[in-house]
Amino acid sequence: MLTVILVVVGLILLTVGIVWLIDKFVPKKLKPVLNLLLWGLIVFLGYITFMSVYGEIKFNKIKDDRYAVVITKLKDIRDAQLAHRTVTKNFAGSFDDLIKFIDTAQFTITQRRDSTIIDEELTRRFGGVETTKDIIITDTLGTVSVRDSLFGADTRYKTMMNLPKNVGPADAKFNMKAGKLADSNIAVFEASVEKDIILYDQEKNLIEKEKNVMSVDGVNGPTLKVGSMTEAETGGNWPKNLSKN
């Protein structure tokens, strides 16, 4: 955008210079017509400069607003996946499985407490001298619904696969996959959506520029995502300033 602005400003200055030359050297009969045409060109170039700046400002506002609501959905997906791993030791590979899990699964509520018992092996080793050791006892207190813990009475989890309303084309959905790392067998998942989809109705050149962002204040790369299929990571690739919570 800076290059475009510099070019336009240069053309405006050149046009102003031409107007001055016309005023100084062109016959009086031709001056009104030429001056009118050149001043019209100056106004047109000024408009282009303004729209170049305003267009990118408007794009950035739309982008940040859409990213914010998409991130809220990605957080719900992450929370649901983390609950799934807590209960099953793995992540869900599809939204159908994840929603079914939320509807039916239970968290086990436990309580850990310290206790002291006789260490029988050391007691025998020391010829009957009573020796103790500290242990941690885990008591099961009951269960609670995963759905109630994460979402309460809200049923938004049933549509977590869909992009938020007014973001992306109709019926646009998140991509999600899960598996395990080959070298460590650690469970991983990733949920993502392409920037092309989020910003589908914006100017193509601004979208391409956004897809190549590499900044600590921006969403790097062509997608907005949470989790990773290549490392044990459950965070998102967005900066803190875009996260509402």
Domain ranges for the chain, please list them.
2-53, 66-103+160-242
pLDDT of 138: 65
Is residue 91 within 8 Å of 187, Cβ to Cβ? yes
Q: Burial, 189: exposed, middle or buried (Cβ in 10 Å; 0-12, 13-18, 19+)? A: buried
Distance CA 190, CA 185 (A): 16
Task: Give the CA distances from residue 199 to residues 3, 192, 234, in Å, rounded to whole numbers and listed in that order.
Answer: 23, 14, 25
The first and second tokens of residue 77, run together, are: 């997906």
pLDDT of 115: 73
pLDDT band of 89, cuts 50, 70, 90: very high
Between 181 and 213, the more confident residue is 181
CA max distance for the chain? 125
Q: What are phi and psi of 9, to 5 degrees?
A: -60, -40
Q: Is the pLDDT of residue 166 over 60?
A: yes
**Mean pLDDT (whole number) for 107-133:** 73
pLDDT band of 178, cuts 50, 70, 90: very high
pLDDT band of 213, cuts 50, 70, 90: confident
Q: Is the pLDDT of residue 74 over 80?
A: yes
Distance CA 212, CA 221 (A): 6
pLDDT of 135: 74
Is residue 177 within 8 Å of 142, Cβ to Cβ? no
